[in-house]
Amino acid sequence: MDRYIKIIRNLLALLLLLFIGNIAVLNLVAPDRTFSESENRMLEQLPHFSMKTLVSGKFTSDFEKYVSDQFVFRDVWIGAKTDTDRIMGKKESSGIYLGKDGYLIQNFIPPAEEDVEEKVDAIHAFDHATPGLRKYMMLVPTAAALHKDKLPKYAMVGDEEAYLRKVRSLLHPDIRFVDVSAALFSEREQPIFYKTDHHWTTQGAYVAYLELCKQMGLTPLNKEEFNIRQVTSEFYGSLYSKSGFRHLQPDSIELYLPKEQEKYAVTYVDEGQTTDSLYAMEQLQEKDKYAVFLNGNHALIQIKTAHPNGKKLLVVKDSYANSFIPFLLKHFSEIDVVDLRYYEEDLASFVNKHDIHDMLLLYNANTFFEDPSIKNLTE
C-alpha cells in the first residue's frame, strides 16, 4: 500500500512539474499582445531596462505589470479564480465589485494631488495657446459614484465626486465646466450605465447631451425625434472580462437614430478611410461590441455634415465620447475628434489651421485621473 501511495505522489509531482514547465515554455514562446479585446485596453509591453529605472524601482514595477498582462491563458485563470472566490462569498476582483442587480462596478482610486494639478496646468497651457477657442469640459462620474447603493456593504471606494469638484475649482472660469452629475443622478434608476462594461449607455449619453446643450445654447433633439434601435442584447463588456465574474446577464446596446436623416462623411485620418456612417455594425459580431460607436478609438476622426451654420467643434476625448458624438451632428458643420492616447501632432496648430470655434473635453472620471495623455495637450 505504501508503495502505491509513493508512486501516486511521484506521479502527481511529475504532472505538476510538467504543467509548470509547459506554462513556462508557453510564456516564453507566445508573442506579446499589444491590446486586450476582452478588457478593451492596451497591455503592458516589455519595459526598457536601464540602471536608472532599476534603482528607482520603476523597471521592477513595470516588469511585474508586463508579466501579469502577458501571462498565457490570462482570461481563463481570472475566470477560475473569480468563480472560486464567489463561491466563498467574495464580491471583489481586480478592483471590480459585484454589486446588486448584476452590476459590475469599478473601484475609483484617488489620484495624487500633484498629478491632478499637472493635468489642469496642461489644460490651462492649451487654453493660453488657443485664446480664440471656446472651451467646455465634461468629466463624467462613473457607476462607482452614481450607483453607491448597489455596491457591497464593505466596499471601500474612493471619493470620486470630491476630485471632480477639485478639478472644477482649479479650472479657469473661461473654461466652462459642464456638470452632468446631478442630471445623471436623477436618472440613476434608468439604465444609464452598462452592467458589465465601464461605459455609460446611449441613454446616459443622451442625458449628458441635454446638459451640454444648455451650456452651449443649443436646441437639443427630443427623444421623440429618434428611432431608438436595439442592435444587440448579447454584450459582455470590459468589466465582465477584467473581473472574471461570470454567470451574469448580458447588456443590450441601443442606437439613437434621428428620424430626420442628414448626410455626413466620417474620415478616419490615419487609416485613410471614409464612410457615411458613425456606426461600425460589423463590430457587433466581435467581443468589443461597444466599438460599434465610431469603430472604436482612433487618433483623429473628421466628421463633415450638411449643416450650413459653418460651426466647427473639436472633441478631445476618451471612449465615453464615442456614443455621445452622434447627438452633436445636428448642431455643427464639422466635428474633429481627437484621442490624445494616440494623437501625436501639435493640437494647438491643428486648431488654428482649421479655424475651429468650440472645444469639448469629454472624459469619464477614471480615464481622466488615471491616464497621463491629457498632458499631451501642449506637446
**Is 56 part of a structural domain of the chain?**
no
**pLDDT tops 80 at residue 42:** no
Q: Report the residue count for the chain.
A: 379
Tens digits of residue pLDDT in 108-161: 999 999 999 999 999 999 999 999 999 999 999 999 999 999 999 888 899 999
Determine the residue type at 56.
S
The confidence band for 57, taking pLDDT boundaries of 50, 70 and 90, is confident
**Is 235 part of a structural domain of the chain?**
yes
**Is 66 part of a structural domain of the chain?**
no
**Is 47 part of a structural domain of the chain?**
no
Residue 166 backbone dihedrals phi, psi, to 5 degrees: -65, -45
The helix/strand/coil state of 229 is strand
**pLDDT tops 60 at residue 287:** yes
The confidence band for 52, taking pLDDT boundaries of 50, 70 and 90, is confident
**Is 266 part of a structural domain of the chain?**
yes
* Number of compact structural domains in the chain: 1
How high is the pLDDT of residue 294?
98
Compute CA 259 distance to the chain's CA centroid, rounded to the nearest angstrom: 29
Compute CA 293 distance to the chain's CA centroid, rounded to the nearest angstrom: 13
- Decide if 357 contacts 334 (C-beta within 8 A): no
**Is 57 part of a structural domain of the chain?**
no
Span 331-359, mean pLDDT?
96
Cα gap 26→118, rounded to integer Å: 42
> Who wins on pLDDT, 310 or 60?
310
Span 359-369, mean pLDDT?
97
Tens digits of residue pLDDT in 150-197: 999 888 899 999 999 999 999 999 999 999 999 999 999 999 999 999
- Decide if 108 contacts 158 (C-beta within 8 A): yes
The mean pLDDT value of the chain amounts to 89
**Is 54 part of a structural domain of the chain?**
no
Pick from 107, 103, 97, 90: nearest CA to 157: 107
Cell reading at 9 = 505522489
CB proximity list for 59: less than 8 A, separation 6 or greater: 47, 49, 50, 53
Exposure class string for 233-258: b at 16+ Cβ within 10 A, else e: eebbbbbbbbbbbeebebbbbbbbee
The confidence band for 48, taking pLDDT boundaries of 50, 70 and 90, is confident
Cα gap 237→241, rounded to integer Å: 7
- Decide if 225 contacts 259 (C-beta within 8 A): yes
Percent of the chain at pLDDT > 70 equals 87
- Decide if 51 contacts 69 (C-beta within 8 A): no
Pick from 275, 312, 315: nearest CA to 295: 275
**Is 99 part of a structural domain of the chain?**
no
Q: What's the domain range around 254?
A: 104-378
CA distances from 348 to 62, 86, 174, 337 (A): 32, 50, 17, 14
Cell reading at 129 = 495657446
Residue that is written with C-alpha cell 511585474 in the block:
64
Tens digits of residue pLDDT in 82-97: 666 656 667 888 899 9
Q: How many CB atoms lie within 10 A of CB 122?
A: 19
- Decide if 178 contacts 229 (C-beta within 8 A): no
- Which sign, positive or negative, has the C-alpha torsion 373, 377, 363, 274? negative
